[in-house]
Amino acid sequence: MRSAVNRCLSSGWAKPAWFVLSCLPAAWLVFAALGDQLGANPAEALVRSTGDWTLRALCLVLAITPVRTVLGIAALARLRRMAGLFVYFYAVLHLLAYSWFDMGFDVADIAKDIVKRPFILVGFSAFVLLTPLALTSFNRAIKALGAKRWQTLHKLVYAVAGLAVLHFFWMRAGKNNFAEVAAYALILAVLLGWRAYRRWHLSWRSYLGAVPTGGAGR
């Protein structure tokens, strides 16, 4: 089963299929908007929906490494870069929807709103941190930065995850609706907690391997 999944994900159509699947939520939102199927407040629905899909895409990209490692599906690594770019794609759509429908593309009002409302500031900060990750998700950027610096830069995604959940929490706080916030927070906590545990476990094994056996007690 594992080898079959790896073969499928290694095939030439895996990336195009992933691209199409990742575009479906945006395509549905466009279709729903044109067909007047977004409810009584379509502008709010677009802002909320693009934000939701940004969080879902973020959870998905952070899940790739644990799933690949635990289940042994190495070919998933081929899709991680595209998955990360779709996080940024939906974040851009979310920012555009807010800037257009809530603020009418008034740059001065947007700047004032960012300063005035903490949850907007947190969300915008997450977008700012995502931007260099998207801009360096290419082979030339990796070569220019060097693998170690590139990996260090892309650890900003963990801060983005925290800011995204905080943004969602403050946005829902006004309506005392925290069920979805708790679900996303739990998913991200598990994904980040797995990374922290794995790092600690590997470091501890490395330390034990470096300690001479029997020398300390003599």
Q: 214 in a domain, yes or no? A: no
Work out the average pLDDT over 15-33. Answer: 97
Q: 217 in a domain, yes or no? A: no
Residue 218 pLDDT > 50:
no
Domain range for residue 43? 2-200
Of residues 173 and 62, which shows the higher confidence score?
62
Q: 141 in a domain, yes or no? A: yes
- pTM, entire model: 0.91
Residues 64, 79 contacting (CB under 8 angstroms): yes
Residue 204 has a pLDDT of 80
Residue 210 pLDDT > 90:
no
> Percentage of the chain surpassing pLDDT 70?
95
Q: 206 in a domain, yes or no? A: no
Q: pLDDT per residue over 153-204, tens digit each?
A: 999 999 999 999 999 999 888 777 889 999 999 999 999 999 999 989 888 8
> Percentage of the chain surpassing pLDDT 90?
85
Q: 45 in a domain, yes or no? A: yes
Residue listed under structure tokens 């995604």: 157
Residue 96 pLDDT > 90:
yes
Residue 213 pLDDT > 60:
no
- B/e letters for 29-39, b = 16+ CB within 10 Å, e = fewer, are beebeeeeebe
Residue 211 has a pLDDT of 59
Residue 212 has a pLDDT of 60
Q: pLDDT per residue over 99-112, tens digit each?
A: 999 999 999 999 99
Q: 212 in a domain, yes or no? A: no
**Total count of domains within the chain:** 1
Rounded to an integer, what distance in angstroms lies between the CA atom of residue 96 and that of residue 87? 14
Residue 14 pLDDT > 80:
yes
Q: Which among 30, 14, 12, 148 has a CA at the least distance from the CA of 83?
A: 14
Residue 216 pLDDT > 60:
no
The amino acid sitting at 6 is: N
Q: 205 in a domain, yes or no? A: no
Average per-residue pLDDT for the chain: 92
Q: 147 in a domain, yes or no? A: yes
